[in-house]
Amino acid sequence: MLRASIIAVALILAVARVALAANPVAYRVSIAPTGNDGLDAALAATSELRTLRGTAPVGPFGLIVRARTDVDRLKTVLDSFGYYESAVRITIDGEPLADPQLPDALARIAKGRDATVAVAFALGPRYHLGRIGFDGEVPPFAREVLGLRTGEPAVAAAVLAGGARVRTALEDHGYAFARVDPPVATLDETHRVLDLAFPVVTGPRVRIGAISIEGLKRVRERYVLARLPLHRGEPYSPPAIERARTALIDVGVFATVSVRVGKAPDAAGGVPVTFVVRERPRHAVSINAAYSSDLGGSGGVTWTDRNVFGHAERLSVSSSITNFGGTATTGLGYDASAKLVKPDFGDRDQSVQFAVNAVKQSLVAYDQTAVTTGATLVRRLSSVWTANVGVTTANELVVQPPRSASPHRYTLIELPIGLEYDSTRLASPLQDPVRGMRDSLTVTPTRSIGTPSATFVITQLKLAGYLDLHRFGWTASGRSVIAVRALAGLAQGAGEFSLPPDQRFYGGGSGTIRGFRYQGVGPVFPHTTTPIGGTAIIAGTLEFRQRFGKNFGAAVFVDAGQVSASLKLLQNVLRVGIGGGLRYYTPIGPIRIDVALPARRYSPSDDPYEIYVGLGQAF
């Protein structure tokens, strides 16, 4: 009977203890600083007491176990920073973890009170690197990149990074199967130094072996192999293989490209390399829409074939309705085009583009109906420089006010020559640039056959730069950006009225001076507000862009410029617009809404404000 009573009491106490342990204990953690910011950050990131506090509640016993586990975890961090004689001490409400009464004390904590977990360290002396060597034959170029010096603190991350650099250097010089193991470390407690010996096996020096492509469906294998900047027999080089992978991504027909390298060299000493590709859907349809208070609304659709004949030829056919309303328009217009791009035309870094375009515009300045055709050769000079040259013909009918006047028919033959620089490292112009520059220079000799006929040269220089304030440590990367742009254009060889109206320069609108209606800046016909256009334009913008949270942002800007007969800055014709707007950032680019107004209204035709809505930044 007595035995049964004892067993029953023991069971009751065990059940009670389990019940108490099941009740989570709220706690807060205090980790003593060590005086080393990098070490403090590593300790905080490693501590499960801190990282699991809000997501994994524990009872009294669980909290003690978590704290004991942290002792070992934090000691490993201290060792990795060279503090091999250090100690970690953790207390809960001032009591050591070994106190047998601690579980019961935690179970009795009053509701609403947090237990205090204090983590303290006895660092002891810091060990430094002593002798540093290699176990195995290592070429001099690989020894030089180790980057470790006797006397430096014995930080594990730095030691392992040095070994990784040696392996990378060996691979880059053709030792594809080189192995660099973690160093054998010998602790000298007397002198408090750590001696290191890196085991290294270089293996044979090899070359690129057979190159194959897997996953092709419509794209021709011969085209892919010809485009690769990698060839059998070349020295093995991971950077060269990565450049080849990137070259395939740049083709535009592959969704993914991965690389599989052979595990051993073949009989000829070559390493097989296989590129595994997944083709993108051949066809795509996109819809576009935009609105501004001066040009009104527009919308259209684009159909694209990414691989017309199996060699990554790209055909795009688009059609848009334009000028739906707007203060600078007098009726609906359209813009329809077809464009075929043939990549690798004669060379891997060269492409040719054929285009035909039909456009109708009904603007305050003029009405235009035109059909243009052209061919352009594009040459990639480097990762940032591109050159192009082409020939374009246009047949157009232009009517200028008064609309009752006879229309002018023009045939234009143009030979545009261009040079572009882009260091923003973005795949699409719709993406948000935060650093680098986008610049272009275009010189277009033109022969205009009509009434009157003329021969002239139009030169345009466009500059845009982006400065991320993270560069100065002021904000997080990409959050605060100063953007500037400048535009200069000059028509030489023909006077204002000798140029076809659509070849003249006009100011106003989102591309030049916001706050003024499209084509609203520049000379006007006497006693009217109808724009004439000019032979020169100067414009510039200063804009500050700030992101908020994950998807939102804002911008404020100042635009200024003039249209005249010279590139000299003329005070009496300079126009200034100011404004701001909101941004909503999407994966394909920011949706932009800007409101701008003229700093001063110079004529009754100037609108009190302009609104611009579109995809992508203004520049």
Asked if residue 339 is part of any domain, the answer here is no
**Tens-digit pLDDT profile for residues 180-201:** 999 999 999 899 999 999 999 9
CB 553 within 8 A of CB 577: no
How confident is the model over 339-351, as a mean pLDDT? Answer: 93
**Tens-digit pLDDT profile for residues 91-109:** 999 999 999 999 999 988 8
- Which backbone phi and psi does 502 adopt, to 5 degrees? -75, -10
Residue that wins the pLDDT comparison between 592 and 267: 592
Statement to judge: residues 218 and 169 lie in one domain: no
CB 524 within 8 A of CB 506: no
How confident is the model over 350-363, as a mean pLDDT? Answer: 96
Answer yes or no: is pLDDT of 606 > 80. Answer: yes
**Tens-digit pLDDT profile for residues 289-336:** 999 999 999 999 999 999 999 999 999 999 999 999 999 999 999 999
CB 163 within 8 A of CB 228: no
d(CA 370, CA 31): 73
Q: Report the candidate in 559, 459, 566, 574 with the shortest Cα–Cα distance to residue 509.
A: 559
Answer yes or no: is pLDDT of 10 > 50. Answer: no
Statement to judge: residues 451 and 589 lie in one domain: yes
Residue 404 — very low, low, confident or very high, per pLDDT cuts 50/70/90?
low
- pLDDT for position 64: 95
Asked if residue 539 is part of any domain, the answer here is yes
Range of the domain at 88: 21-122
Statement to judge: residues 162 and 48 lie in one domain: no
Answer yes or no: is pLDDT of 464 > 50. Answer: yes
d(CA 397, CA 403): 13
Tokens 């007098």 locate to 330
The H or E element containing residue 231 is none
Asked if residue 3 is part of any domain, the answer here is no
Look up the CATH number of the domain holding residue 465.
Answer: 2.40.160.50
Statement to judge: residues 60 and 28 lie in one domain: yes
Helix ranges restricted to H, 331-482: none
Q: Six-digit token pair at 539?
A: 């414009």
327 Rama sector, left if φ>0, alpha if ψ -120 to 50, beta otherwise: alpha
- pLDDT for position 401: 77
- pLDDT for position 311: 95
How confident is the model over 432-460, as a mean pLDDT? Answer: 95
- pLDDT for position 407: 86
Statement to judge: residues 134 and 39 lie in one domain: no
Looking at 239, 256, 279, which one is the last position of a domain?
A: 279
User: Mean pLDDT score of the chain, rounded to an integer?
Assistant: 92
Statement to judge: residues 176 and 236 lie in one domain: no
CB 141 within 8 A of CB 168: no
In this prediction the pTM is 0.76
CB 196 within 8 A of CB 183: yes
Answer yes or no: is pLDDT of 13 > 60. Answer: no
Statement to judge: residues 169 and 65 lie in one domain: no
Statement to judge: residues 462 and 534 lie in one domain: yes
- Which backbone phi and psi does 379 adopt, to 5 degrees? -120, 120
Asked if residue 371 is part of any domain, the answer here is no
Domain count, the chain: 4
Write the CB contacts of 345 (distance below 8 Å, at least 6 apart in sequence).
351, 352, 377
By the 10 Å C-beta count (0-12 exposed, 13-18 middle, 19+ buried), 149 is classed as exposed
Looking at 279, 294, 311, which one is the last position of a domain?
A: 279
**Tens-digit pLDDT profile for residues 363-387:** 999 999 999 999 999 999 998 999 9
Looking at 88, 122, 156, which one is the last position of a domain?
A: 122
Residue 239 — very low, low, confident or very high, per pLDDT cuts 50/70/90?
very high
Q: In 306-406, which ranges are E strands?
A: 314-324, 333-342, 350-362, 367-380, 385-399
The H or E element containing residue 608 is none
- pLDDT for position 604: 79
Asked if residue 369 is part of any domain, the answer here is no
Answer yes or no: is pLDDT of 569 > 50. Answer: yes
Statement to judge: residues 111 and 134 lie in one domain: no
How confident is the model over 24-43, as a mean pLDDT? Answer: 94
d(CA 82, CA 34): 13
Asked if residue 61 is part of any domain, the answer here is yes
Write the CB contacts of 230 (distance below 8 Å, at least 6 apart in sequence).
208, 211, 240, 241, 243, 244, 273
Angle at which helix 238-250 crosses helix 156-172, to 10 degrees, equals: 80
Answer yes or no: is pLDDT of 21 > 90. Answer: no
Look up the CATH number of the domain holding residue 151.
Answer: 3.10.20.310
Q: Six-digit token pair at 251?
A: 């083709």
- pLDDT for position 22: 52
Statement to judge: residues 412 and 512 lie in one domain: yes
Residue 7 — very low, low, confident or very high, per pLDDT cuts 50/70/90?
very low
Asked if residue 430 is part of any domain, the answer here is yes
Statement to judge: residues 496 and 607 lie in one domain: yes
Asked if residue 290 is part of any domain, the answer here is no
Share of the chain above pLDDT 90, in %: 82
Statement to judge: residues 487 and 549 lie in one domain: yes
